[in-house]
Amino acid sequence: MQSLAYDVMLHSTVGGEANTGNAVVIINADDWGRDREVTERTLECLLQGVVSSVSAMVFMEDSERAAELANQHGVDAGLHLNLTTAFSGLGCNPRLKEQQQKVTCFLRASRLCPAIYHPGLAGSFEYVVKAQLDEYERLYRRPPSRVDGHHHMHLCANVQVQELLPPGTIVRRNFSFTQGEKGAINRFYRHWRDRRLAKRHRVTDFFFSLPPMDTPGRLERIFDLATRWSVEVETHPVNADEYAFLTGGELIRRVGQVKIARGYSL
Nearest-5° Cα angle at 220, 251 to 246: 15
**Distance, CA of 186 to CA of 188 (rounded, Å):** 5
- Residues facing 25 on adjacent strands: 260
Global pTM reads 0.91
Domain range annotation of the chain? 2-260
- Side chain identity at 39, as an amino acid letter? T
Number of Cβ within 10 Å of residue 184's Cβ equals: 11
For 2-260, the fitting CATH number among 3.40.1390.10, 3.40.640.10, 3.20.20.370, 2.40.50.140 is 3.20.20.370
> By C-alpha distance, which of 204, 201, 168 is closest to 12?
204
User: Per-residue pLDDT for the chain (266 aa), expressed as one digit of tens each?
Assistant: 334 443 544 455 455 555 545 689 999 999 999 999 999 999 999 999 999 999 999 999 999 999 999 999 999 999 999 999 999 999 899 999 999 999 999 999 999 999 999 999 999 999 999 999 999 999 999 999 999 999 999 999 999 999 999 999 999 999 997 666 777 777 787 888 899 999 999 999 999 999 999 999 999 999 999 999 999 999 999 999 999 999 999 999 999 989 999 999 88
Distance CA 107, CA 168 (A): 26
CA nearest 140: which of 48, 56, 227, 14?
Answer: 56
How distant, in Å, are the alpha carbons of 63, 105, 119, 168 from that of 81?
Answer: 13, 16, 20, 17
Measured in Å, how far apart are the chain's first and last C-alpha atoms? 26
Listed in sequence order, the residues at least 6 apart from 151 whose beta carbon sits closer than 8 Å to its beta carbon are: 83, 84, 85
Give the distance, in angstroms, between the CA of residue 164 and the centroid of all CA atoms in the same chain. Answer: 17
